[in-house]
Amino acid sequence: MNSSSNASAPATPSLSEQKTHKAICLKHVPGKLGQVYYPLQTISVPTPSPPPASLKPPLLFRPTHIALNHRDLFLRQALYPSPSSTTPLFSDCICIPYVPSTPSSPPSSTSTNPTSINTPQKRYLFNPTRGWRSSPSGPESPSTFGILGGTSTLALGAGSQILAIPQGSDDNDDDADQEVIECPPHLSDAEGAALSLCGVTAWRALVTKAAVKRGDKILVTGIGGGVALMVASLAGKMGVEVWVTSGDAAKIERARKEVDGVRGGVSYREEKWERKLRGMVGGDLDAIIDGAGGDIGKRATTLLRHGGVIVSYGMTTGPVLSLPMAAVLKNIEVKGSTMGSRREWREMVEFVGREKVRPVVEVVKRGSWDDLSGLEELFEMMKKGSQFGKLVWEIIDEREDKRQVAKGSKL
């Protein structure tokens, strides 16, 4: 692809001079649920224009890296509710400020508001959900709760050349600046992009639901996925002893070597693997953080102490988690956990910054809004389930300064 810096090429207008910008959306085609695979398409959408003087301007950003989640794949397979062909795809990204050509006021460095956010060089993360402020029980208004990207429920998604966060959300004029937070400085761009959705899901399961404390022993099932790795990474920094399962021995070994706190693990393909794991642990576990479902309730009776807890954040083996009477007699609790509140998201990001936690990023691919080939490669990797960690797409935008791929990333 020719670079826009070529002296002989005609000048390309900056984003602030354009009436439209690009976004990545699904293209609906006929097909059955789970069998269809919606193509990706780049469409043009209106660029935000300055609002009337009586309204506060939206917070404007430009994504530089976007991280994939299994939710994005499920949307392409029509396995997720309300897929949209007009809402930009993706929930996770890292952004830099997009400063309009006529800013309303000089930048301020004293507070997080529209002007101080529009300060060059800073990197920001988004809260990947809306409609859930702080309740530990769940969204305050379940009917308005939603996750960013790709659905008709919310019009905002990370896969857009310009992201506009309206001033005022949940009927509160002061809430918009709480939906973004500065990226912890120790994270690379790719790591920052990979953090929010898997991070808040892991944090809620581990902290709010399992209520782990230093010295506890836990099992994290399905190590290799983004949430499972994030649970293990957070738990290790909390002084928790972590054990894992996987169907791939190499992933268990990588987790043991690369993630603080992981002591070891077993293959869930082995018959009665829970007995082997109990022998390795040398006693009871306090909690199981599970994303598989299936027969984990039965296995838990061997692994958990009396009063132990199973926290389920997903059920990849099927939409049922069975619980035998033996688990009831041991007072084992089962707690469902879905994403997290804005408060939990901000607490997670602050902990990551303080304890220098790093999301595991497996691969970064480059591309542009007009070249989605690298992005498609990442989706193929996700379909195969071979990755260990997050998959990230770096956006090379010819009309803006190019950014470097995260150090250590595979291309």
Residue 301, SS3 per DSSP = helix
Q: Is 182 left (phi over 0), alpha (psi -120 to 50) or beta?
A: beta
Q: What is the pLDDT of residues 72-120, one digit of tens each?
A: 999 999 999 999 999 999 999 999 998 765 444 333 333 333 334 445 5
pLDDT of residue 334: 96
Q: What is the pLDDT of residues 163-202, one digit of tens each?
A: 988 765 444 445 667 899 999 999 999 999 999 999 999 9
- Which tokens belong to 205? 């399961």
Which amino acid, residue 134?
S
Q: What is the pLDDT of residues 110-162, one digit of tens each?
A: 333 333 444 557 999 999 999 999 999 999 988 889 999 999 999 899 999 99
Q: What is the pLDDT of residues 24-68, one digit of tens each?
A: 999 999 999 989 999 999 999 988 776 676 677 788 899 999 999
Over 80: is that where the pLDDT of 399 sits?
no
The model's pTM is: 0.86
Q: Residue 30 burial by CB count (10 A; 0-12/13-18/19+): exposed, middle or buried?
A: exposed
